[in-house]
């Protein structure tokens, strides 16, 4: 039987049977430990019921992506929440998330909140930025306030439908308001699962998938740390999608768009490439080269 792992605590996995829609507690067979791929939340698995009525995971399907922080596989998309004011829009953090998600093959949808805190002029400027990101492959929603309106909620329900999503954002941008609006039942559910798993205080690394509107949203504590520890300079260059596209015209294949002659990316800054994207790229490049000196 095929199932999705929605929660995991020590030896016990909680599976969602994709056919019967039942939740089944299960154990993993010892062989996974031998081959070094323990099943994790987000995995699609095959399981069997044994004579003693215990379910065992017998196979894990190939992952289409695999994150360490949060510890989850097969994420279909990341919803990145950013307020446009209070706290001010943070393009550095946005570019950081976009690069890391792109590197991990995870599409992103940006949700801008608190739009109404901007005056008309500022809204025009912000709209240009939103449209820029959309033009390079990152669609967006814009919420007037921190708490989504009924219309906003309809938009986001359409976005999460049928997918596994992770939601992330700085504090104060409206992440908890959004999750509460999406899942008013959440507190009860979480408590139930927690009880069932005998979950104690060790919740910091714990990830679980919460059913929301025909999709799954990962409740991911500890998503705050975002660094480039598994990427090298070229990975970063390839993870800035519009740079990667332009780089086919760079003179050198290995161009990192710093001081190389004949760089097509540098030529496009301020015309088709947003200058803040390039500034952040250089900062990240520096960060990665420092990390790699260790």
List residues binding Zn ion (CB under 5 A): 250, 255, 257, 263, 265
Q: Which is nearer to Zn ion, 57 or 263 (CB)?
A: 263
**Shortest CB 212 distance to Zn ion, Å:** 42
Least CB distance to Zn ion at residue 266 (A): 6
Q: How far is the CB of 94 from Zn ion (least distance, A)?
A: 22
Nearer to Zn ion, 8 or 268 (CB): 268
Angle at 115 between CA 213 and CA 152, to 5 degrees: 20
Planar angle of CA 58, 64, 66, nearest 5 degrees: 85
Q: Using alpha carbons only, how large is the chain's radius of gyration in Å?
A: 21
Residue 218 or residue 250: which is nearer to Zn ion going by CB?
Answer: 250
Question: How is residue 52 written in tokens?
Answer: 């003693």
Measured from the CB atom, is 1 or 285 closer to Zn ion?
A: 285
Q: How far is the CB of 34 from Zn ion (least distance, A)?
A: 45
CB-based contacts of 126: which residues, under 8 Å, 6+ apart? 84, 89, 112, 115, 118
What stretches of the chain adopt beta strand conformation (E)? Answer: 2-9, 12-17, 23-28, 44-49, 55-60, 66-67, 72-73, 77-83, 108-113, 140-142, 164-169, 208-212, 215-219
Q: Which is nearer to Zn ion, 263 or 288 (CB)?
A: 263
Give the nearest distance from C-beta 255 to Zn ion in angstroms: 3
> Positive or negative, the Cα torsion across 240, 159, 179, 44?
negative
Cβ proximity to Zn ion: between 257 and 277 the closer is 257
Number of helices (H) and strands (E) in the chain: give both, helices first: 10, 13
In the bound complex, what is the minimum distance in angstroms from residue 184's beta carbon to Zn ion? 49
């Amino acid at each position: 039987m095929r199932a999705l792992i929605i929660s995991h605590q020590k030896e016990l996995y909680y599976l969602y049977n994709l056919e019967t829609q039942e939740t089944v507690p299960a154990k993993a067979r010892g062989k996974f430990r031998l081959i070094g791929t323990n099943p994790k939340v987000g995995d699609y698995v095959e399981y069997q019921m044994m004579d003693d009525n215990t379910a065992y995971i017998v196979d894990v399907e190939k992952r289409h992506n695999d994150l360490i922080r949060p510890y989850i596989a097969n994420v279909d998309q990341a919803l990145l929440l950013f307020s446009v004011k209070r706290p001010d829009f943070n393009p550095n953090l946005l570019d950081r998330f976009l690069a890391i998600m792109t590197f991990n093959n995870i599409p992103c949808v940006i949700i801008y909140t608190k739009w109404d805190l901007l005056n008309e002029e500022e809204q025009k400027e912000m709209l240009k930025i939103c449209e820029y990101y959309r033009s390079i492959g990152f669609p967006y929603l814009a919420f007037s306030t921190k708490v989504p309106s009924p219309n906003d909620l309809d938009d986001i329900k359409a976005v999460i439908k049928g997918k596994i999503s992770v939601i992330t954002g700085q504090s104060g941008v409206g992440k908890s308001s959004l999750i509460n609006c999406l899942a008013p039942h959440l507190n009860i559910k979480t408590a139930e699962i927690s009880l069932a798993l005998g979950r104690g205080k060790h919740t910091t690394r714990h990830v679980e998938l919460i059913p929301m509107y025909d999709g799954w949203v990962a409740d991911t504590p500890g998503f705050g740390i975002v660094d480039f520890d598994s990427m090298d300079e070229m990975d970063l260059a390839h993870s800035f999608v519009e740079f990667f596209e332009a780089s086919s015209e760079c003179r050198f294949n290995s161009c990192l768009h710093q001081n190389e002659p004949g760089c097509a990316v540098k030529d496009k800054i301020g015309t088709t490439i947003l200058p803040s994207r390039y500034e952040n790229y250089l900062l990240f490049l520096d960060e990665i080269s420092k990390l790699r000196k260790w």
